């Protein structure tokens, strides 16, 4: 039920419609096996709303992409959901217009015109446009979609982190979030290295251990960057201030403003003290060069994305070929571009599987009969066999919010 309500509320904020009503229903079977799933509850609502947008565009005779552009939320506008305005949710950076322009440019490059985003037509033996070969008699169609999601889960999500100087002049991060292939280890090292003017190879990280740092509410919902990452940033910034203050005191500099951090030392008015020496001096003075950071997950921002597919269908057999796809994600300041691209393309493969192959089947008693992978059909075609999958990130000015995972 939480997923249903959250998905309905978030998705309803996209169209600029003064009157909104959402009817959402939940069905209880008590027999669906539990398991993790990316974007749970959101994909279904996005598909329903986007289908309605396409249908309204057809009925009004407006290009589906133009119809979306006329109704999208703009920068600085209030986001009103069926439950009212969410006080901690804002647009910190805005790139939805750029995302839609990427889709429009792809359509134009592919030879499309007005009405093309949801149009279709016959193929040719040699194919048409950059999408690849289309057999004679096949139908070619293309479609667009867009969505918006909050960059963090609502309410009660928090993280703590500690960053400290070690005896050998390197740094240690302790953070409560978990690394499970989502890239937060890299991101947290990047954040700390930037704050302390050092390199990532001089930073060690410890995670998910409440003996060294307080409890973290979880890495779901990209919170490893937007929540735990903010805690790490606060701790690293605070430690940088400590290091400069102590170095100025130790070297007799007039003010910490005369000092600056380097990869393995502090320079103050022409004098240099290594971080190793600074650690020993702090220990002799009975001080620990360590700082804590906390982030409560609020305020939150939103991220936007737009998608475009061009495909061909054999009307005789129903076989489908993906000819080209373009995906634009406005993720704010991207901390780990490779990881972000992997998430976008992984989402594309997941969407293809859910749309074309996957099907949870129930028997007459409501029990799931496809509970094992040997009975559940998944997409196994490698990503490289889907022609021309292009992911793109817009340039947005705000660096306040970032995503990796």
Instruction: Output the DSSP codes for 260-321.
Output: EE-SSEEEETTEEEEHHHHHHHHHHTT---EEEEEE---SEEEEEEEEEEEEEE-TTT--EE
Q: Which of 38-52, 162-176, 214-228 has the highest mean pLDDT?
A: 162-176
Predicted local confidence at residue 383, as pLDDT: 43
Residues sharing a CB contact under 8 Å with residue 303, sequence separation 6 or more, in sequence order = 148, 149, 150, 151, 329, 330, 331, 332, 401, 403
- Annotate 202-233 with DSSP letters as a single string: GEEEEES-TTTS-----STTTHHHHTHHHHHH
Contacts of 5 (CB under 8 A, 6+ apart): 24, 83
Q: Given this model, what pLDDT does residue 349 score?
A: 82
Average pLDDT over all residues of the chain = 82
Is the pLDDT at 217 greater than 90? The verdict is no
Most confident of 2-11, 145-154, 310-319, 326-335: 310-319
Q: Which residue's structure tokens are 């009969």?
A: 369
Asked whether the predicted pLDDT for residue 367 surpasses 90, the reply is no
The pLDDT value recorded for residue 112 is 62
Q: Which domains does the chain have, with CATH numbers?
A: 2-152+299-403 (3.30.365.10), 159-295 (3.30.365.10)
Residue 337 tokens, joined: 């571009």
DSSP helix/strand/coil, 349: helix
Query: Residues 227-235: what's their mean pLDDT?
Result: 95
C-alpha to C-alpha distance for 194 and 209, rounded to whole angstroms: 24
Task: Say yes or no to pLDDT of 177 above 80.
Answer: yes
**What's the pLDDT score for residue 356?**
81
Question: Which of 188, 168, 165 is CA-nearest to residue 239?
Answer: 165
Residue with tokens 């597919």: 309
Is residue 50 over pLDDT 70? yes
What's this model's pTM, rounded to 2 decimal places?
0.79
HSE-CB of 166 using CA atoms within 13 angstroms: 11
In the block, tokens 């373009």 appear at 326
194-198, 225-229, 385-389: least confidently modelled range: 385-389
CA distance 224 to 297: 11
Sequence-distant (≥ 6) Cβ neighbours of residue 161 within 8 angstroms:
173, 174, 175, 176, 188, 213, 228, 231, 232, 234, 235, 292, 293, 294
Query: Please, which residues have CB within 8 angstroms of residue 341's CB and are 6 or more apart in sequence?
Result: 391
- 38-62 b/e with 16+ CB inside 10 Å = b? ebebbbebbbebbeebbeebeeeeb
Q: How would you list the strands of the sheet with 265-268, edge to edge? A: 259-261, 265-268, 271-274
SS3 88: coil
Residue 10 confidence (pLDDT) above 90: no
Query: Tokens standing for 306?
Result: 């737009």
- Given this model, what pLDDT does residue 16 score? 61
Contact 132, 323 (CB under 8 A): yes
Among the listed residues 226, 55, 201, 216, the one whose alpha carbon sits nearest the alpha carbon of residue 149: 226
Tell whether the model's pLDDT for residue 130 goes beyond 80.
no
């Amino acid at each position: 039920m939480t997923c249903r309500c959250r998905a309905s509320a978030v998705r309803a904020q996209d169209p600029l419609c003064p009157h909104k009503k959402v009817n959402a229903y939940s069905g209880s079977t008590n027999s669906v096996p539990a398991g993790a799933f990316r974007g749970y509850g959101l994909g279904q609502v996005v598909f329903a709303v986007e289908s309605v947008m396409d249908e309204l565009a057809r009925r009004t005779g407006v290009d589906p992409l133009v119809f979306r552009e006329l109704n999208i939320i703009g920068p600085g506008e209030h986001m009103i959901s069926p439950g009212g305005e969410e006080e901690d949710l804002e647009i910190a950076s805005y790139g939805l217009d750029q995302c839609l322009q990427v889709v429009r440019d792809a359509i134009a490059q592919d030879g499309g015109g007005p009405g093309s985003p949801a149009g279709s037509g016959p193929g040719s033996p040699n194919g048409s446009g950059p999408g690849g070969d289309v057999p004679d008699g096949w139908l070619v169609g293309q479609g667009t979609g867009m969505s918006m999601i909050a960059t963090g889960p609502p309410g009660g999500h928090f993280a703590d982190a500690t960053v400290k100087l070690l005896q050998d002049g390197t740094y240690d991060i302790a953070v409560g979030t978990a690394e499970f292939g989502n890239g937060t280890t890299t991101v947290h090292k990047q954040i700390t290295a930037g704050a302390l003017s050092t390199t990532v190879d001089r930073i060690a990280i410890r995670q998910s251990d409440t003996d060294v740092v307080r409890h973290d509410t979880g890495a779901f919902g990209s919170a490893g960057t937007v929540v735990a990452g903010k805690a790490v940033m606060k701790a690293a910034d605070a430690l940088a201030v400590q290091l400069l203050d102590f170095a100025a005191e130790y070297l007799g500099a007039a003010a910490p403003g005369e000092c600056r951090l380097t990869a393995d030392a502090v320079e103050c008015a022409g004098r240099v003290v290594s971080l190793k020496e600074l650690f020993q001096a702090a220990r002799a003075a009975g001080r620990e060069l360590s700082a804590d950071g906390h982030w409560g997950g609020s305020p939150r921002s939103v991220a936007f994305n737009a998608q475009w597919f061009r495909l061909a269908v054999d009307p005789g057999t129903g076989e489908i070929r993906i000819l080209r796809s373009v995906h634009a994600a406005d993720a704010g300041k991207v901390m780990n571009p490779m990881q972000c691209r992997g998430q976008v393309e992984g989402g594309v493969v997941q969407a293809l599987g859910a749309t074309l192959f996957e099907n949870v089947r129930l028997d007459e008693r409501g029990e799931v009969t496809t509970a094992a992978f040997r009975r559940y059909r998944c997409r196994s075609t490698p990503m490289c066999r889907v022609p021309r999958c292009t992911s793109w990130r817009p340039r947005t000015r705000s660096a306040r919010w970032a995503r990796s995972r």
